Structure formats: structure tokens, C-alpha cells
Amino acid sequence: MHIRYQCTEDMNSRKLLSETRRTFPPTKARCQQPSRILIVDVTSPSWANTCSVLSEALENSLCLACSLTGPSRIPLLSLYLVQNQQECLLPFVHLKENFARVQACISELRSLSREGCFPQGGNGVVQAVQDGLQQFKQYSRHTAAGGSANSSVEITILTSQSGKEIVKQLERKLKDVDLVSLRRIQVIEVLKRDFLEPEDVEQCIPAEEPSSSDIAILGMDIDLQTIEDNVISLEMLFKTWLHDCGSEREHLHLLLPSGGLSCGTAPKPTLMCLKCDLQERLLDPNLLSGTTDGTLRTADLNSPCQMTAWPATMLYKLQVVKALKSEGVCESVLYGLPFIIKPTSCWQLDWDELELNQHSFHALCHSLLKRKWMLLAKHEPQNTCPSWNVVVHSYYIIVPSDSATLLVKPVAVRELLMPSDFPALLAEHPERVQSPIESALNSLEVEVTYNPLYLKSNLYKYLKSMLYRPLHRQQPQPRDQRAERHQPKQHQSRAKATVAPLLMAPSPAQLFRPAGVRRDSCAHSFLPTEDDKILH
């Protein structure tokens, strides 16, 4: 069960003077995304096996975050290591401007596997949490004095120790700590798969949803999850930071006919409104720096035919106008990027309203699956541009799934449709051409379901090469030279530099399987089902 802790703080309202001796990065415009602190516990005997996959997954995810145009999805990042004591490996940095520095820290993280493991025990994790919160408090004072603030922080702890024991330590030690700016603590227990060969680790199938529980302490929730120590699972964990974490308002109103009658004889023209959030199913390749020729296309919020889940700056309204049989929708008329629709988690709504809205959404998903229907919905721009003489409508197909989500995708209208006068398929073919085709097809491996996790495009390597700056190369320092740099002082907290947390509140990965689409029907889940065959 996931119950999200809703922050009530507003650090912007505090007019505090900056009296810190630390050097802070320049202030930025206010961001709704939380700052992230990543705490890596390296005291486990299995750290040598986890180190390489963790480093690769973290570097892959961060290079992706640095390459996305638009507002930063991970505005600030800080990295702690826990050995005999906590150590701030990476002070607060603006991620997009400091990939070379982040890459150097990850290289230093990789070097730990060669230096051996560290004894377990002690309160290093708790001390890292305390120090990170102290640094964030000082950073917030600095940015508030400059007219800008990032008001909340999330902490993610990666450990191979017992997650429940870590939670108990946090419960005992954080009683007197100021947690007003803390949105959530996430404890990730990394499990080792002893029966996997090293070459099979990356092909290991991650769980569809990490097993997790929420433990309420100190007026907030600690999210406890377990995850396997392979690149894919950890990469998907870090990619959750790229989702929109704002919960101040819903993203979408899905309008359905009420179906009721008024006291008179005429139907009452009322609409049922389901309040929903949008979540990206895929990253738009056009938003990745250097992956397109010429000028990059960014999402145009004023476009009559454009809907976007990032950044969520406007409220969309989709009015359902028709129901469609699932087998009657041709894949060729669908275009653009799909988005996931899910019940809103907006904290400003009353709890009873949230619960009713969620139940209604689930009932809609169930009924659509039972009837084998899709929905056709019309979208009207909320704010029409003065240059438009008429309002341009766009239309979307809404597809149900066996999870508590819907898939929405743009569908073609008459103005966009091109002629398609194609000849009918011949019933028979000469044997001299049919036999070679059959032989070629028989030589192919057949998969029951398409799994994108098995396909690589070398995109990560390309993005790293674009972000890498030889003039800013930073070699990891020997640990004996770093020891003095990170020693705690009396008037400062333990880390020498300011800390800015990196993690974004992870939302559970949405598994999506369409009810059925004619022609090119495909599975929308990025995680395989139990029936999937591992071919690699």
C-alpha cells in the first residue's frame, strides 16, 4: 500500500538570512520537482557485486536527465556514501550544468569495489540523513534570501542490509530532527541474485512492482522497497525521478455523459468528471539534446493538437463523444506519443472526493474491458490564441488496460488523413516466390511479446559523449586524499560542501496491456509478464 506523505511546508515564506560559510550554486527559478539526496550504503559484503550495476544504472539515468531540454527534472543532486562513517561524495549541484562532476563521482563510486568492503554497524546511514537535511536547510536559506527556493527534498537510501533495521534506526534517531522540508524517505533494500551468472544480470527481469510497504513515523511515511541488483531494475528506479512529482493540482478532467434524466422529460445535459493525472509512457526523443538535426522541437503548449505531461502547466479537458469497438480501431490512424492516465493524487482534494474519484476510475476501466470498448474523446484548447479565427479540435483514443490505468493517444481526423488506395492481397502466389519467403520467416526467432528492455540503441553512450567535456575532466582522487576534505568540523555539519538532494519521488511503474488493437496490437508494458519468454 502506498500512502504518500503530503508536505505542508513553504520555505519561501521564511525570510531567513544566509549566514553559511559554504559556497552555494547560483539561485534558480522555483521548481516544483523535489531536490534529491542519494545515500549509498557500501558496508554490505555483497557491495562488490552491486557496485558495478549501481554505477552503470545511475550514470545512464543521469546522462538522460542532463540531456532533456526544458525545465530540469532533477534540479539538485547530492550523493552520500556510508562506510565507517558518512561521507558527502557530491555536494549540492545543479545536475544539468555538472555532468562532468557527477561522472567523476560515479567513477569514484566504482573504485570502491576494488578497495574492499567496510564493516557493518554504526549509525552512518542516520548520520547521512541528518547531515543531508542540515545542508538542505542551509541551502534553502541561501536561495530564499536570493528570491528563489526549492522547498522540498526527498531522500533515497540504497542498502543491502535489512531495510527494516534501517527504518528502526531512523525512527530512533530522527525524533528531534526538523523534518519540515522532507517530503519522503525511501529505503531501497537491494537483493542479490546468487543464481545468476554475471553475463545474465542485465537480462534479469525486474519485478513488475517492487515489493514495498509504508511505515508511518514522525508524522510522515518511510517507503520501504526491495529491488534486485541488476542494471535494469536500478535504472528503472532512478528513472522514476524524471516523472512529474507535482501534486498541487490534477492534470486532466475526463468528462463522461452522466446518463441520468432530469425531473422533466428532456435529458439533463450534465457531465461526470473524473479527475486524472497524466504520466509519460515514453520520453520524447525530440527532447534529447543532439539527437535530432537542426532545431529541437519542444512541446508547444499553445498548439491545438498537442498534449504534454511535462511540464504539467495547464489543465486538459477531454470530453468523451463516442465508444468504439476495440477491434474496429486501425493502428495506422493513431499517431504521436502515448500517455498514461491514472486517478489524480492531488493533495488539495478532499480525502472522500479522492476516494470516490479513484473508485469511479477503476469502475470505468473494468467496464471498458468487459465491453471490449475504447473511447473517442474531443479536446478543446482552454486558452485560444488571438491569431486563431476558429477553435481547432483534436481527438484522442482512450484504451483500457487490466491495470488501474488508461492509455491515451492522438487519433487522425479528416484533415490529416492521406489517400490510401491499396490493391487487395492476392489469394495465391507462385511456389517459386512463396517458398523462399516461408524459409526466411521460419529462420526467425519468435517472441510472444515485444519487450523493449532487450533492445539497445547505444543512446546512453551517445549522450555521454555529447555531455562529456575533456577540458573539465575530473579524475577521482585517492581516498586517503579525500579523507581530510570530508572530516566533520565543530561549527559545520559533517559534509564539507552544501548538499542538494537528487532523487525524485518515485511513482510506481505503470504496467499497461491494451485490451486489443486491430493490426499492430502491441503490449504497452515496459516490464514483461510472467508468460514472457527470455530469449537472451
The phi and psi torsions of 124 (rounded to 5 degrees) equal -60, -40
Strand order in the sheet with 212-217: 86-94, 76-82, 35-41, 153-159, 182-191, 220-228, 212-217
Higher pLDDT, 448 or 429: 448
What span, in angstroms and rounded, lies between the C-alpha atoms of 399 and 517? 9
Which triple of cell numbers denotes residue 190?
537491494
**Percent of the chain scored above 90 by pLDDT?**
41
Nearest to 59 by CA among 25, 94, 92, 108: 108
pLDDT above 80 (res 46)? no
Please write the tens of the pLDDT for every residue from 69-85: 988 899 899 999 998 77
User: What's the distance, CA 439 to chain centroid?
Assistant: 43
The phi and psi torsions of 182 (rounded to 5 degrees) equal -85, 115
Q: Taking residues 243-258, report their average pLDDT.
A: 88
Locate all alpha helices (DSSP H) within 372-458, ordered by sequence. 431-442
Which triple of cell numbers denotes residue 314?
495547464
Q: Give me the pLDDT at residue 28, please.
A: 41
70, 74, 253 from 309: Cα distances, Å: 13, 16, 13
Q: Count the alpha carbons within 13 Å of 9 in the hemisphere toward its beta carbon.
A: 22
- Residue pair 309/251 in contact (Cβ under 8 Å)? The answer is yes
Q: Give me the pLDDT at residue 415, please.
A: 95
pLDDT category of residue 270 using cuts at 50, 70 and 90: confident
Which triple of cell numbers denotes residue 481?
586524499
pLDDT category of residue 386 using cuts at 50, 70 and 90: low
Give the range among 187-191, 324-328, 478-482 with minimum mean pLDDT. Answer: 478-482
List domains and CATH numbers for the chain.
Answer: 35-195+217-241 (3.40.50.410), 246-260+269-287+311-384+392-415 (2.40.290.10)
Higher pLDDT, 177 or 297: 177
pLDDT above 60 (res 202)? no
Q: Taking residues 478-494, report their average pLDDT.
A: 43
For 286, other C-beta atoms within 10 Å of its C-beta total 13
Q: Give me the pLDDT at residue 32, please.
A: 76
Nearest to 103 by CA among 131, 66, 73: 66
What span, in angstroms and rounded, lies between the C-alpha atoms of 332 and 419? 12
Nearest to 136 by CA among 500, 491, 502: 500
Amino acid at residue number 345: S
Contacts of 145 (CB under 8 A, 6+ apart): 15, 16, 17, 18
Structure pTM?
0.74
Handedness of CA 357, 361, 367, 368 (dihedral sign): positive
pLDDT category of residue 26 using cuts at 50, 70 and 90: very low
Please write the tens of the pLDDT for every residue from 118-130: 666 668 899 999 9
Give the range among 165-179, 395-409, 464-478 with minimum mean pLDDT. Answer: 464-478
Give the range among 35-44, 280-289, 376-385 with minimum mean pLDDT. Answer: 376-385
Q: Give me the pLDDT at residue 436, please.
A: 92
What span, in angstroms and rounded, lies between the C-alpha atoms of 536 and 526? 16
Torsion of CA 51, 56, 59, 63, to 10 degrees: -170
Q: Taking residues 414-435, report their average pLDDT.
A: 90
Which triple of cell numbers denotes residue 325?
469497438
Complete DSSP assignment for 113-143: HHH------SSHHHHHHHHHHHHHHHHHHHH
Which triple of cell numbers denotes residue 433?
516466390
Any idea which residue has 569495489 for its cell?
A: 113
Q: Taking residues 462-470, report their average pLDDT.
A: 81
Please write the tens of the pLDDT for every residue from 292-328: 443 444 444 445 556 776 666 788 999 999 999 999 9
CA geometry: angle 237, 242, 243, nearest 5 deg: 95
pLDDT category of residue 503 using cuts at 50, 70 and 90: very low
Mean pLDDT, the chain, whole residue set: 75
Q: Taking residues 325-335, report their average pLDDT.
A: 94
Among 32-36, 309-313, 435-439, 469-473, name the most confident range. Answer: 435-439
